[in-house]
Amino acid sequence: MSVTAQQRSLLRSVEEYSRLLENVSEEEFQRSPGEGIWCYAQVYSHIFQANLGSLIATEKCINGTAEINSDRLNWITGLILLFGRFPPGKFKAPASIASMVSIISREEARNMIVKFNNRIDYVAPRVSKSSAAQKIKHPRLGLLNAQQWFRFIQIHTLHHQKQLQRIGKLLKQSA
């Protein structure tokens, strides 16, 4: 999939995040559907903080300030990037990422979306021109170059859309 197609997919996903945000109240946005289950606000906090961090990693690869490494991807990461999805099942975010998650307001979520969209518009045209040997370590997937980081952002964003749908169903059941 081309960087342009990935960017379009990402922007469509973010539009879905924006639509959901406009169709829930502040109370519903911040209410957990059950013990130990993230609320919408926590998912938004996670997805946009993680994606903004991933864009920073992408930019470092683009700017040539990353580690130079020609090692191949491990086979699991290669499959994730090839098929565009995580393996089935639920996974906990790495502790370093999970510790950043908080319950944010709808306004904070809107601001994160604007910031993310602006960064995507800046980064996307530069991704395909970057060196494949410039890599930054992902907490779980290993060393990724700019193209791989950009693909990860797309996969990660789509993955959490499904989580938002599950939260919506659970909130309706508990209402």
Confidence class of residue 109 from pLDDT cuts 50, 70 and 90?
very high
Q: Is the pLDDT of residue 125 over 80?
A: yes
In percent, the amount of the chain with pLDDT more than 70 equals 98
Pick the more confident residue, 36 or 59: 59
Residue type, 168: G
Domain coordinates in residue numbering, the chain = 3-174
The pLDDT of residue 94:
67
At the fourth CATH level, the homologous superfamily of domain 3-174 is dinb family like domain (1.20.120.450)
Stretch 114-137: mean pLDDT = 95
**Per-residue pLDDT tens digits for 57-94:** 999 999 999 989 988 999 999 999 999 998 887 777 76
Dihedral over Cα of 164, 170, 174, 175: its sign: positive
Helices (H) and strands (E) in the chain, counts: 7, 3
